[in-house]
Amino acid sequence: MNTTLLKWIITIGLLAITSQMVHLETVMQTLLSASAGAIVTAIAIQTLSTFLAAYRWSLIMDSLQFHESYRVYLASYYKGAFFNQALPGSIGGDAVRVLEFGSMGYRKKEAFYGIFIDRIVGLVGLLLLNLGANLYSGALLPSWLFGLINMIALGGIAGFALLIVLHKFSFLSAYRITNLLSELSSRFRQVYRGKKAILTQLTLSVIIHFLSIVALYEIARSVGMDLSIELFFVAVPPVFLLTIVPISLAGWGVRESAMIGIFMLIGASKETILSVSILYGLMLIIASLPGLFIWLSGKKLV
């Protein structure tokens, strides 16, 4: 079965199941009552997050000997975000970025490595943020969920450390499949050859996800959701982790189901949580629209 078709089926199925769990009329009323000012604030915060994410990616690509200006990376990042959020089809945002740098004369394989590293360091930043929030306010979640999230976070961080040193095992280069891991590890080492690079990019990753969660919190405030921001830093990262799994279109369906499941554990209204998730998804589409302008205009912001 075509992968895109399967994602459509999963997305529609999850949204259909979710809709059966709530009163849709209440959800619609909540959506219409949202404060425009808070949503604009959320878009501004998400935009700042995107600018920082593009900067982090530029640092990675520079270390891999890609010599372009920050504006080129920002333009490409926006185009990728637009394809991911607003045009979830057979070609994803990461593929768009690989093809674009290939058209500039760079090796597509090296562009892929740079984008993959960017994804991984972003994931580790999310895990670090979640781990820190859990240690600070872990009592807000059931103990079993607290333990599970911490195990996943520690496992992911350990995996990141392993990728940096994996190239030292020379036997990996003897086989085609493992050689790919060895090459990837070499690129990780090239990017993170010093503590400063690691600390800088992990700090950026934490800040980027911090801003995304604050943006979601602002959307929650826009519909009158009265929960502490500490709770969002504990509950939202697991949702983000689940939406990274590419089984639906731009995370739709997965995000809504996960948010309802997690926030119900702390007594939040299903209708309100679903409204927040829908508004957040729409906000991500709006925030990615500069990518449409750049794509249509054919500009690289140079």
Residue 15 inside a domain? The answer is no
Question: Which residue range is the domain that position 290 belongs to?
Answer: 24-297
Residue 76 inside a domain? The answer is yes
HEC profile for 237-249? HHHHHHHHCCCCC
Cα(249)–Cα(11) distance, rounded to whole angstroms? 6
Residue 7 inside a domain? The answer is no
* pLDDT at residue 210, rounded to an integer: 97
Nearest to 202 by CA among 210, 43, 15, 45: 210
* pLDDT at residue 89, rounded to an integer: 60
Residues 34-54 as b or e (16 or more Cβ within 10 Å = b): beeebbebbbebbbbbbebbb
Residue 13 inside a domain? The answer is no
Tell me how many degrees the CA angle 273-35-39 measures, rounded to the nearest 5: 75
Which residue is it, tokens 């790919």? 180
DSSP conformational letter for 223: T
- The secondary structure of 249-275 as a DSSP string is STTTTHHHHHHHHHHHTTT--HHHHHH
* pLDDT at residue 187, rounded to an integer: 92
Spell out the residues 6+ positions from residue 139 whose beta carbon is closer than 8 angstroms to its own.
146
Residue 18 inside a domain? The answer is no
Residue 17 inside a domain? The answer is no
Tell me how many degrees the CA angle 93-260-31 measures, rounded to the nearest 5: 80
Residue 96 inside a domain? The answer is yes
Q: How many structural domains are present in the chain?
A: 1
pTM: predicted TM-score of the whole model, two decimal places: 0.90
- Asked if 128 contacts 150 with a C-beta cutoff of 8 angstroms, the reply is no
Nearest to 276 by CA among 13, 7, 88, 22: 22
Residue 302 inside a domain? The answer is no
Cα(50)–Cα(122) distance, rounded to whole angstroms? 12
- Over the chain (302 residues), the average pLDDT of each successive run of 10 is 81 91 91 94 97 97 94 95 80 87 92 94 94 80 81 90 84 79 90 92 97 96 90 91 87 92 86 95 95 82 41
* pLDDT at residue 299, rounded to an integer: 54
* pLDDT at residue 286, rounded to an integer: 95
